[in-house]
Amino acid sequence: MSSNYQSAAEKQKAVREAVFPALESVEQVYQDVTYTVKYKSEEFNSVCPKTGLPDFAALEIEYQPDKYLVELKSLKLYLNAFRNVGVFQEHAANKVFQDFWKAANPRYLKVTMTFGARGGIDTRVEVEQRRVEMLGFSGPLQYLDQVGGTTASDLDLRPFCK
């Protein structure tokens, strides 16, 4: 393994715990209504941790709020903080997803990042999760932790269905 790759890999270990500007949430008054909010930005950028070259992406965030909304100015400042961060594309999408989920605790969240082609290869990363109770489950399960690698298809959850 090259030393350049090793240093890039070491930097990535800290991405999951990295602290970015806070995503602020505000209480939403239409908690009795299920609706979808979609945010789109063509201006997401970060830096490749291996080459130091900039990465550019279109970012889409789609979510169904429960008790909280994410305040847009804080989202803008949060996303701009990635500008000089060396992060692999897949890790950037998962970090945005993880932090958004923590801030809003939505009923449903999907983060899609489509990165521009580099070396003839473009990258599209999708991270998606729905709260377990929204799927009709009961019992001790609270959330489906897709960030940790568990998805509904990995589990036999039929005993928990209502």
SS3 call for 94: helix
Residue that the structure tokens 């847009």 belong to = 72
Q: Is 55 a catalytic residue?
A: yes
* Catalytic, out of 32, 48, 66, 161: 48
Q: What's at 139, amino acid-wise?
A: G
Outline where 63-88 has alpha helix (H): 72-80
* Catalytic, out of 55, 99, 154, 161: 55
Residues 6+ apart with CB under 8 A from 44: 56, 57, 58, 59, 79, 82, 92, 113
Q: Which residues are catalytic?
A: 48, 55
